[in-house]
Structure 1
Amino acid sequence: MPGMTSENTVVPIDFSDLSYAALDRALEISSGTGKVHVIHVLSALSTMEPGNLYGTITTESRIDSTKEHLKNKLTGEKYRDVQIHVTIGDAGREIANFAQKVAAELVVLSSQGQGFLEHLLVGSVAERVVKLATCPVLVLRA
């Protein structure tokens, strides 16, 4: 996007190809001079989930495992300075809150990433981020 720059950008990653394409676009926008924060939001586990019930899966282990997966996925020179963050909660709200917390100038995300049925039931994460974010949001077409 010619002429567009951001010194502090947030990119939600849901492990879809589209979210990684959004990350690549954010890196272009930051031109190697700005910070790029990748955030993945995990859903909360039910207290009755077997791993949660027996204590074999903890919040910390889920976060650590997800961070490690992202680090392994984001290898290569262009991802060297990307900062990785993982949290738990409602994706739209957590992304908007995180963007405010890090004083983001821009959030870059894909318009799709979840299935059709999930979109009907809970709405689009992109829609929620657009409504809740206090900074500009760039929604890329799928």
Structure 2
Amino acid sequence: MSVLARDPVMLSEHLPPDVDGPVLVACDGAPVSSEALFNAGRLATRAFGGPLQVLGVCKPTPGVAAGMDVLPVPAELDEARRLSMVEDVRRAISISAAGDPTWTVDVQLGSPSRLLATEARRRHATVLVMGIGRHNPLDRLFGTETTLATLRESRVPVLAVGPSFPTNPMHAVVGLDFSVASVQSARLAARLVAPNGRLTLVHVRPRFEHPSADWQAWDADYGRTLPPLFDQVRAQLDPPDGVIVETVTVRGDPASSLLSFAQQAQCDLIAVGTQRHSFLERLVVGSVATRVLRTARCGVLAVPSA
């Protein structure tokens, strides 16, 4: 996702339809994060419909090196660990005020990011709800954080929340570059905002510092394209009754400008569209969605491009 549009373009009239599938909540049974995850899951089911399903992923135990050979781990050991996580997840649901014992619980063995992304797509999930954890510098460098790794593989929107994510978000900020993915993120965010809340559409323009007449003319043309583009997006939203939709334009670096605005606004949720990047691009530059997810002090909704 890039909040910065190099050249403003007209919006496609054929946005992807909303999916009436389940809300998939990724949970490993840790009580410290379960309350916020389940609250976010309930919020998503109210907003989008569909059942709530809880999915846990248990990493297989690596084989043990013995000389030149690797001793395989008995299958019974991993199955015991999987069943233990099932009990942990059910226990977390039962002690959480937001939990519901009728929710389906599934725990599978595999790579968390790959399996979560695959299952979300296979089940035609409307959104995948995950937690935002603490990350060390090596995780950030190599992209092994589970939520970020899942986001990079997912074709389903990811709602990442921290422990303080509110039950009823009152203010969502959308990074809007007028791409299909960013417009879809605005549509979904509009439905997550509580009645009488606010949805702020933020477009980050290039920082204009060139003195030539040609560049000044281009910048003026750029500015004139923005009001009709904002109007097109507003016409495609379906916010709850009473939600106020605002539009804001700022200048600067896409990620830092969006984060700065969101922090000053003390919003509950930042929504962005995501684009596909190579490993080298992520390593050297990073995407706006990655920087937002790592830095935001609120929940993040990331919607992948088609």
Does TM, normalized by the shorter one, top 0.5?
yes
- The structure 2 residue matched to 1:69, chosen from 204, 210, 229, is 229
Which runs of 5 or more residues in structure 2 are unaligned? 1-22, 24-40, 44-167
Which aligned pairs between 1:1-142 and structure 2 lie closer than 5 A? Answer: 2-4=41-43, 5-45=168-208, 47=210, 50-52=213-215, 55-57=216-218, 62-63=222-223, 65-75=225-235, 78=238, 81-112=244-275, 116=277, 120=281, 122-142=285-305
Structure 1's unaligned 5+ residue stretches are none
> How far off is 1:13 after superposition?
0.9
Larger Rg belongs to: 2
Q: Percent identity?
A: 21
1-side partners of 2:288 and 2:261: how far apart? 14
Range with bigger deviation, 95-104 or 77-86:
77-86
CA distance in 2, matches of 1:140, 1:68: 23
Matched residues in 1 for 2:201 and 2:237: separation? 16
Cα pair 1:109 1:139 within 8 Å, conserved: yes
Question: Whole-Å Cα distance in 2 between the matches of residues 77 and 127 of structure 1?
Answer: 25
* Partner Cα separation in structure 1 for residue 184 and residue 229 of structure 2: 17
Is the contact between residue 70 and residue 84 of structure 1 (CA under 8 Å) also seen in structure 2? yes
Corresponding residue of 2:153: none
CA distance in 1, matches of 2:293, 2:219: 31
Give the Cα separation in 1 of the matches to 2:227 and 2:296: 24
- Given residue 130 of structure 1, which amino acid in structure 2 is its aligned partner? L
For residue 58 of structure 1, report the CA deviation from its aligned partner. 5.1
Report the count of equivalent residues.
Answer: 136
Residue type at the aligned position of 2:174 = V
CA distance in 1, matches of 2:297, 2:223: 26
**Offset of residue 130 of structure 1:** 1.8
Instruction: Determine which structure has greater relative contact order: mean sequence separation of CA pairs < 8 Å that are 6+ residues apart, divided by chain length.
Output: 1
Q: How far apart are residue 95 of structure 1 and its match?
A: 0.7
Offset of 1:139 from its aligned partner? 2.0
Higher mean alpha-carbon deviation, 85-94 vs 2-11, is at 2-11
Match of 2:37 in 1: none
- Taking the aligned partners of 2:206 and 2:235, their CA distance within structure 1 comes to 25
Distance 1:109 1:76, change over 3 A: closer
Measured against aligned partners, the alpha-carbon deviations of 1:81-109 in whole angstroms (never above 9, x if no partner) come to: 31001111100001101101111011122
Deviations 1:47-83 (A, max 9, x none): 166533xx43557x74454234212442267368310
The 2-side partners of 1:77 and 1:110 are apart by 15
Question: Over aligned residues, Cα RMSD in angstroms?
Answer: 2.9
> Helix, strand or coil for the counterpart of 2:244?
coil
